[in-house]
Copies of this chain bind each other. A is one copy, B any other.
Amino acid sequence: MTRTSTFPEAAETAVDATRVAVSTVIFTLRRRAGSETATVAIPLVRRTRDPHEGLWALPGGWLDVTEGLDAAAARTLGETTGLAPSYLEQLYAFGDVDRSPTRVISIVYWALIRPDEIPDENVENVQWFDAAALPQLAFDHNAIVDYALWRLRNKVGYSRIAHGLLADEFTLAELREVYEAILGKRLDPANFRRQVENSGTLIPTDRFRTGSHRPARLYRYNQGVELADRGPLGIHH
């Protein structure tokens, strides 16, 4: 599969009007080869034209006049990386005058995707990076990723978004691993179990994950509980 970077700031035709772009910071969890712990990873797209040709940038594209912002984020993410997120939320609108040679307002989203939803095939010009060790990115994208990571870590504390990174059924150890990767610290298994059990968001199943030592019970999410606390009218805050 061949895809060319269509990233907003790449357009060569300079116009004097302000243009609106949409980009997405999409997170997943990667298990490192030899390591015990999982790490947060994001896909980047290599720029194939100026400005910043050759640098890595967030997947994105121009906003179409006929689509909403959320739809534009999902579409441009799909076109550049082939990914369809399980969770998508607006992050921030970046609009400093000097963030790009031409005036570009970027509405940036952040998203989660389950590891099993990532297609095996390699997409050209797309590469996954460890979020903790990014190269120099195009435009202000390093700062944007930092901000998205901050929001992710914040939100994991007061919502159940962590579940956007897991399959339908999972063990408590797997859920805990998600939290540990995002927060960057180990959590007490005993206390973690109680917290999450008392939150009412988990439904125990009759199935167990076997294969190593004592089998662990599989849990599902309680669909009646919102993934994240939206504000009034369903805006993803």
Contacts and interface: CB of A to CB of B under 8 A. Distances in A.
Interface of A: 16-18, 20, 63, 65-69, 72, 90, 92-97, 103, 105, 107, 143, 146-147, 150-151, 154, 231-233, 235, 237
Nearest 9 pairs of A and B residues by beta carbon: A69-B95, A146-B232, A150-B231, A93-B93, A147-B231, A93-B107, A68-B96, A143-B233, A65-B103
A151 B230 CA distance: 11
Nearest to A145: B232
A143 B231 CA distance: 10
Given A69-B105, A92-B90, A233 B63 contact: no
How many copies of this chain sit in the oligomeric assembly?
Answer: 2
Contact of A150 (B20, B96, B154, B232): B232
20 contacts: A16-B65, A17-B17, A18-B63, A63-B105, A65-B103, A68-B96, A69-B95, A92-B235, A92-B237, A93-B93, A143-B232, A143-B233, A147-B231, A147-B232, A147-B233, A147-B235, A150-B231, A150-B232, A151-B237, A154-B237
Nearest to A62: B18
A105 B20 contact: yes
A68 B95 CA distance: 6
Contact of A67 (B97, B146, B231, B235): B97
Nearest to A146: B232
Contacts of A93: 69, 90, 93, 107
